[in-house]
Amino acid sequence: MKLTEKARKLWLAGALLATLLAAQWVSGEEGEADPEALPEPAEARNFRKEVPAGRNGTENEAGGNEAGELDLERLERRKFSARAGDIFGQRSWVPPPRPEPPRPPSPPPMQFRYLGKVVEGDETRVFLALGERNYIVRPGESINSQYRLDEVSDHNITFTYLPLNARQMLATAGAANIP
């Protein structure tokens, strides 16, 4: 059991040493770098205030704080491109949903009210109301050039909405029939 614990510690020490060597190799530096020895960025050099010899730069002759002057023209020169768009907007790799094809136009809801029907021999007439107007129609006739009465049965009436050539039904079950 002691041998296993020693072997484990040796492996951990070797892994630690390998990690440290890899980190130093990736950083490309040998030994610790002195922060004073790092090169100064060009922007910092342009904005740094030159301190005259013999002064510490914190006080002027009047005794107040001397403010460092910035080259404001240089700051205003920086412009952002309009091509960047909304940099904080949501991004997704999921393609947008396909637009649904437009639905074909549908006829308006049936506005007729069934009042009754009369059957005389082979001929059937239907009494309908639309608003304040009443109509007496036989199969095959049109109403206001909008609807055509196609078929009359005991439970419903079939119409065709002419502008779209769409069939519609009007229920007649439960309504009073005139013999």
Residues constituting the chain: 179
- List CB contacts of 113: < 8 A, sequence separation 6 or more: 128, 129, 130
Q: Is residue 82 part of a domain?
A: no
In the predicted model, what is the mean pLDDT of residues 107-128?
A: 92
Strand arrangement of the beta sheet that strand 123-130 belongs to: 113-120, 123-130, 133-137
Which domain, by its residues, includes 135?
A: 113-171
Residue 138 has pLDDT above 80, yes or no: yes
Closest to 113 (Cα-Cα) out of 125, 139, 138, 131: 131
Q: Is residue 166 part of a domain?
A: yes
Instruction: Note whether 113 and 130 are within 8 A (CB).
Output: yes
Q: Is residue 118 part of a domain?
A: yes
What pLDDT score does 44 carry? 55
Question: pTM for the complete prediction?
Answer: 0.44
What pLDDT score does 129 carry? 94
Instruction: Note whether 49 and 69 are within 8 A (CB).
Output: yes
Cα gap 131→147, rounded to integer Å: 15
The DSSP H or E segment spanning 141 is none
In the predicted model, what is the mean pLDDT of residues 99-121?
A: 92
Residue range 143-163, pLDDT digits in tens: 999 999 999 998 999 999 999
Q: Is residue 98 part of a domain?
A: no
Cα gap 88→79, rounded to integer Å: 18
CATH number at residue 157: 2.30.30
Q: What is the DSSP string of 16-27?
A: HHHHHHHHHHHH
Q: Is residue 146 part of a domain?
A: yes
- Count of domains for the chain: 1
What pLDDT score does 102 carry? 93
Residue 106 has pLDDT above 50, yes or no: yes
Q: Is residue 144 part of a domain?
A: yes
Q: Is residue 157 part of a domain?
A: yes
Instruction: Note whether 127 and 117 are within 8 A (CB).
Output: yes
Q: Is residue 156 part of a domain?
A: yes
With bands split at pLDDT 50, 70 and 90, how would you rate the model's confidence at 127? very high
The DSSP H or E segment spanning 109 is none
Residue, of 62 and 68, whose pLDDT is higher = 68
Residue range 72-81, pLDDT digits in tens: 666 666 566 6
Residue, of 26 and 78, whose pLDDT is higher = 26
Residue 110 has pLDDT above 80, yes or no: yes
What pLDDT score does 147 carry? 95
Q: Which of 9-13, 64-68, 106-110 has the lowest mean pLDDT?
A: 64-68
The rounded radius of gyration (Å) of the Cα atoms in the chain is 46
Q: Which of 1-10, 32-41, 82-91, 136-145 has the lowest mean pLDDT?
A: 32-41
